[in-house]
Structure 1
Amino acid sequence: MRILNTLEIEFEENFKRLLSFETVNESELVKTVDQIISDVRHGGDECLLKLTQEFDQHPAQKFEDLCLDQLVLRTAFENLEIEVKTALEFSSKRIWNFHKAQVQEGWTFEDEFGNVLGQKITPLDRVGIYVPGGLASYPSSVLMNAIPAKVAGVNEIIMMVPAPRGELNPLVLAAAYLAGVDRVFTIGGAQAVAALAYGTGAIPQVDKITGPGNKYVAAAKKAVFGQVGIDMIAGPSEIVIYAESGTDPDWLAMDLLSQAEHDPIAQAIFITPEPDLAQAVHDALHKHLDDLPKQDIARASIEARGAIILVENREKGVEVINRIAPEHLQLCVDQVVAEEMTVKIRHAGAIFMGRFTVEAFGDYCAGPNHVLPTSGTARFSSPLGVYDFQKRSSLIMCSELGAKPLAQAADVLAQCENLDAHARSARYRI
């Protein structure tokens, strides 16, 4: 694992190289995805069936074989082992309670002229959630995408989940049942995104698409944005951990590996002002790598995109963190110190404060959403939440008396912009 030092002359160059990453702008990728979207728009359900047979080696012989009804979902939930069912219900309840606190209400007020102004909150009619399938099957992603939509009041939730060779993770189906997903199709990739964005014979068009996927899914979401809303263009998983003495290096190493095992292009970065701790974590990383079932994936991630960054002091550590704007940030220090640092941290998707607060809790059961901005987009983006499944409409209601001062101002400004019809429209109300 490479070690960078903020005091070294070449730090800036190496730091920029560490953070540089592009996933969805490869010309061949974009060309392929655009063709798939076009095919689905024109070929509908029949095209979806052919693409699913081709890309996923799905044994379906007709489109209906790709549709799962509520009985299948309920059966998957009821057949769970009691320990797994309890954990899933525990997580679901915590996620629901957290997002319930995000619900916004509309509001109005009356101005000095007697006009009523305000805002109306309306849930989206229909949303589509994408959930990875096959080896990378995440029931937690079902809960994190569907529950906020349900809390927001969305009328219909449609889930797309690929089923390579027809195989499905029962936990994903159980989570869909528990979260209240209305319809499930075993379709993946860019073709699933296209179907949700434009609709087909059997799949209705949605208003917004959320959920993670591979680079084809990410590129497709980018391509259909504007036709529908999307949550974000998700990049590889990433974690930044800041620590000082007092936290076991084995803990820190395993926390870094918890993200590295996701993907060979996931990123794990450790920041500390203490050289001895940096070396201890480095050694612990390589010790634990040999014990991981997914050691090949984790090793590739650590070697390609991992780093240890030595900083002069805590303040410099905060500065580096803000420049990275990480998806996940662990502050493995005393809780008081973590709280003080958090005040100064401006850019992070989720902040895990204190030595006992690990990122893995956030993935499953802490409560806040695990769909987070990646690749530095925490500078301007937020975690997925109830607000992503609602829209706001402005309310304006003028009385006859209250319209006059607005009309006078609008008349003047419209003439300044050479928009005569605007000006006349306003004057008619005087």
Structure 2
Amino acid sequence: MTTAADRFAIKGFGPENLPYASFSPVDGKPRLGARLGNQAIDLSALADATGGLDRSVRAAISTSNLDALLAAGCEAWTALRAWLVDAVTTAGGDGIVADSSYPVDDILLHMPFTVADYVDYYASEHHASNVGKIFRPDEAPLLPNWKHLPVGYHGRSGSVIPSGQDFPRPKGLRPEQNGSPSFGPSRRLDIEAEMGFILGGSAPAGEVSVAAAAQHLFGVVLFNDWSARDIQAYEYVPLGPYLGKSFASTISLWVVPFEALSAARITPPARGPALAPYLNDEGEEPWGLDITMEVIVDGHTVSRPPVSALYWTAPQMIAHMTVNGAPLRPGDFFGSGTVSGPEKGQRGSFLELSWAGKEPFAVTPDTEMSFLTDGQTVTIRGTAPGPGGSTIDFGECTATVLPAT
């Protein structure tokens, strides 16, 4: 007898991964599913066929997306994953899984959850240092606060859009040499290759510790926080980004459970100076992530940012966002900030790759670029090591830039 994993699993989408998604068969209703190989499993249908799920967990997956499961909390996620892994690895269960599944090529993917609050961080020391060198060449690259707290800003949750949804070039006020700004389409449209973290459970009074953060870390996606650098440059002092960021931020649509990343967890880079107690993770399990991203422009790879280089970890970012009493809600979402490594080919933004346009970078042997032109498509992919030498694949995060309206 064979298992569903034997029959369907492919590299990156085996039983070690089983990412979640909201999907619908063509002309069908959206439902919550999980991916095994190139099959999308209808979780509700599989539960009907096999049983074995607690009633509350069964209710949480009988919906169109992850919202109810996120609200159900960590115990429900753990129980669901254990049941699902068992279902796809049980001998003789491949037929039941097959009857509850649809080919990935024959489904439509939707936003996997409703974004509650959205925070974007600035967790890469290499990225922050590069930006500092570009804009403040005569000063220290990092501002004094950077190594004391995860710098971030509260963004617009409605601007988080699904992979595959194209968007028009944003418009706004742009700085000019004569001192008076002009209004028009952004001339310096950029990407930011990031990881996105989806939170669940509730902490109405805030103050989620680093140690307790794991209870709220549901899943991870690829994230492209598109940036209009010229609009951002004119508006961001003194309150920070606004129109330069709020037009579009793209997420991948297969949500990798944080539990699937156990083999990818590594020690983060060495830190100094000493951290405030609420951010101190000494003695805790390592929360760095060994994920390699790939930035692709019109089919050509231009960068491979390493998530392992992030200075701040996801639990530290959760601890920081709640330490002042700010509540945590199901569906809260935060981005890591641009992921960059120490090498030029590891930079996660075109601002860095082109050094603010002064050093155009190669896309092909015959073409160079600095910032995005209309019609260009950017795709971000990512993989992580899984248990037993397996691979965890995040799918892709993609969109095409359309002309300004």
TM-score bucket of the superposed structures, by smaller chain: under 0.3
Q: Which has the higher strand share?
A: 2
Scaled by the length of structure 2, the TM-score of the pair is: 0.24
Q: Which has the higher helix share?
A: 1
Scaled by the length of structure 1, the TM-score of the pair is: 0.23
